[in-house]
Structure 1
Amino acid sequence: MDFFQLFLQNLLSPAILFFALGIGAGLLRSDLDVPESISRYLSIYLMMSIGFKGGTALAGTDGGILSALPLLLAGAGVSFALPFVAYWLLRRTTRLDAPTQAAVAGHYGSVSIVTFVTAVSFLQQSAIGYEGFIVAVLALMEAPAILSALYIAHRAAPETIVAGKQASRKLSREIFTNGAILLLFGSFMIGLVSGQSGLAKLEGFLVTPFQGILALFLLDMGLLVARQFHHMRDFTVPLAAFGIYMPLIGALAGLAIASALGVDVGTGALFMVLCASASYIAVPAAMRLALPQARPAIYLPLSLAITFPFNIVAGIPLYVLVAEQVLG
């Protein structure tokens, strides 16, 4: 299947069309809205479903958690390393201040759970299997990039050290008690313990409604993306371009690692998605806390209004196609 067919398949899926509807409604300033309580429920459901199904999938594989160890270590390593690449590129292509460059860089080493969930849905629709332990890799790739961003900021702008020290204890709690990550990893462990018999008991709740819940969640995400578009007036062309080519650099790094480790097509594609995505939930919260000098009006719209839509619409089918060609 060529890229155009994969792109069309992704573009015409109900979930992506609802995402487009949300963007359109937001740009038209419609009063369409998903209540915050419903939005939180949708997030909880998706994390619980993805984590639990990943755990049950790993429970049925030979080698268990040991088979996941190489990719787990590689995921943590690439999450720590990518912010240094991103910062180097930003230093040479933009005139942003150092704290903002560091904050932006941290976003591109961490992960977007929603992008991952959408990629999982795309693989399911394409009948491409993957290893369940990739969920544990996702959970492990959240924090290292935050540490890298703070290290970069403290080296480039020493005045940020004071704020970082004041926030260090609270930041550690934010990182290691992040609700989405705890639920994702906790559900993964429950699925691992309960296995296929546990999945059979919850199939009517965690499997069958998944596509509908994802469509409603992406409608809400489309509305959120549209709210960030007004910040784009302050973006330079090199900065906007960074939001497109940095995910491609991350995806290439993920592909090289997946190829070296000999993982299957589906797992490799999802690892590429993780390396290509940019956080817009956990990292912005951490940066507001530890790097108040950085500008949220730059780093949040860049990851949410440029990189996120690019990955959702075009990136996922591209990464799957490349994974099929290289890893297949």
Structure 2
Amino acid sequence: MRGTALTDLLTNLLSPAVLCFLLGAAAYFAKSDLRLPDAIFNVVSVYLMLSIGLKGGASLAAATFSAFALPALGAMALGCLITLWSYAFLRRLGGFGTADAAAVAAHYGSVSAVTFAAVVDWLTRSGVAYEGYVAALLALLEAPAILIALSLAGAARATASDASGNGHTRIGAVVAEVASGKSIVVLVGGLLIGAVVGTATLAPVKPFFVDLFPGVLCLFLLDLGRAAAERLRDFHRAGPVLVGFAIGAPLLHGALGVGVAWLTGMSVGGAIVLGTLAASASYIAAPAAVRLALPEANPGLYLTASLAITFPFNIVLGIGIYAAMARALYGVG
């Protein structure tokens, strides 16, 4: 089992996607001008989400409701639990203010679509099968945690009951912001399209949306490596408690995700995906919502934790660790 765990880690570390991520980080430290133009970055991100949605929707069409329902409920319960405990930990033991604790909890209860893309790429290269409906789990986990965390902040400040009604307005605006964000629109839209047309009808676009996916992911991670390295300049703002949380929480959440997958009857590949999703932290949807609803929260805390610490940890080491957890629990080599 130890050899298998080491193999999982090496497979991830030596993957083109991870090496491109590290190259982007190295380019920043070398003061290179390497970066994707914003327009290209946006196109690539839309491509990745649409590709994930189409493939997941086509597989979802072949899945029965009974097979999908229990994992979906388990995943949503897990996302809520992660948000609640993260908020409580940061408030009571971390000494964070209401806004900062809620902001960080929103990021860790939600998920990273790019980390999801990386684990799917890892599974494909490793030849590990997984349930096609996992893309739907990604969509289900994206928004609820953000809303729960912001509601906790609103309740703590008693803004939801003030005479002006500003609390209700903010939460309503957050719902609209999250639901209309490009990641949700493209991912859910792709799921619906894939579910309607099925695998056979998607065959003509397979060379573009499936075969090119690993290469486009490498390009995307190249730029995110630079962005994560750039965010490290705010590392000193995080403090030891948040740094410890940004590394320790993914390990705990990953183990919980693997356990929930096992309890709900998912395969070992599905457990690796759900473990990785649970361990990930949003840095696209959550920051947009937090900026809108909690402008007083410190971006140097929630962005540094999610983008500069947790994201690189998961991309470089985490996926291999969660794979080893899943193999150990399922008793497979």
Q: TM-score normalised to the size of structure 2?
A: 0.93
1:274 to 273, 277, 282: 277
Task: State whether structure 2 residue 5 is matched by structure 1 residue 3.
Answer: yes
Question: Retained in 2: the 8 A contact 1:163–1:291?
Answer: no
- C-alpha distance in 2 between matches for 1:104 and 1:2: 34
- C-alpha distance in 2 between matches for 1:114 and 1:96: 28
- C-alpha distance in 1 between matches for 2:159 and 2:172: 19
Work out the number of aligned pairs and report it.
326
2:54 to 52, 55, 80: 52
Task: State whether structure 2 residue 151 is matched by structure 1 residue 146.
Answer: no
Q: Match of 2:34, as an amino acid? A: L
Name the counterpart of 2:215.
Answer: 212
Question: Retained in 1: the 8 A contact 2:138–2:277?
Answer: yes
Name the counterpart of 1:16.
Answer: 18
Name the counterpart of 2:310.
Answer: 307
1:236-268 Cα distance to aligned partner (Å, 9 max, x none): 112101000111121122122112112101111
1:92 shift after superposition: 4.0
Task: State whether structure 2 residue 260 is matched by structure 1 residue 257.
Answer: yes
Name the counterpart of 1:108.
Answer: 108
1:174-232 Cα distance to aligned partner (Å, 9 max, x none): 12112111211211121122222123111111111111101000001111111211110
- C-alpha distance in 2 between matches for 1:154 and 1:168: 8
| Larger CA deviation: 216-225 vs 24-33 | 24-33
Question: Retained in 2: the 8 A contact 1:225–1:304?
Answer: yes
Q: How does 1:8-157 map to 2 (within 5 A)?
A: 8-61=10-63, 63=64, 65-157=65-157
Alpha-carbon spacing, 1:157–1:28, altered in 2? closer, same or farther (3 Å): farther
Q: How does 1:163-202 map to 2 (within 5 A)?
A: 164-202=167-205
Q: Match of 2:139, as an amino acid? A: A
For structure 2, the 5+ residue unaligned runs are none
1:157 shift after superposition: 3.2
2:245 to 215, 231, 242: 242
1:13 shift after superposition: 0.8
For structure 1, the 5+ residue unaligned runs are none
1:47 shift after superposition: 0.9
| Larger CA deviation: 153-162 vs 309-318 | 153-162
1:120 shift after superposition: 0.2
Alpha-carbon spacing, 1:261–1:299, altered in 2? closer, same or farther (3 Å): same
- C-alpha distance in 1 between matches for 2:156 and 2:234: 26
| Larger CA deviation: 186-195 vs 134-143 | 186-195
Alpha-carbon spacing, 1:164–1:289, altered in 2? closer, same or farther (3 Å): farther
1:95 shift after superposition: 2.8
Q: Match of 1:27, as an amino acid? A: F
Question: Retained in 1: the 8 A contact 2:53–2:191?
Answer: yes
- C-alpha distance in 2 between matches for 1:302 and 1:27: 19
Question: Retained in 1: the 8 A contact 2:150–2:171?
Answer: no
Question: Retained in 2: the 8 A contact 1:163–1:292?
Answer: no
Question: Retained in 2: the 8 A contact 1:163–1:290?
Answer: no
1:163 shift after superposition: 5.3
- C-alpha distance in 2 between matches for 1:280 and 1:59: 30
Question: Retained in 2: the 8 A contact 1:103–1:299?
Answer: yes
1:82-126 Cα distance to aligned partner (Å, 9 max, x none): 111112222344232221011111111100000000000000011
- C-alpha distance in 2 between matches for 1:95 and 1:55: 43
Name the counterpart of 1:318.
Answer: 321
Q: Match of 1:314, as an amino acid? A: L
- C-alpha distance in 1 between matches for 2:22 and 2:173: 37
Give the aligned CA root-mean-square deviation in angstroms: 1.7
- C-alpha distance in 2 between matches for 1:93 and 1:169: 30
- C-alpha distance in 2 between matches for 1:168 and 1:235: 27
Alpha-carbon spacing, 1:159–1:191, altered in 2? closer, same or farther (3 Å): closer
Equivalent residue of 1:236, what SS? helix
- C-alpha distance in 2 between matches for 1:304 and 1:291: 19
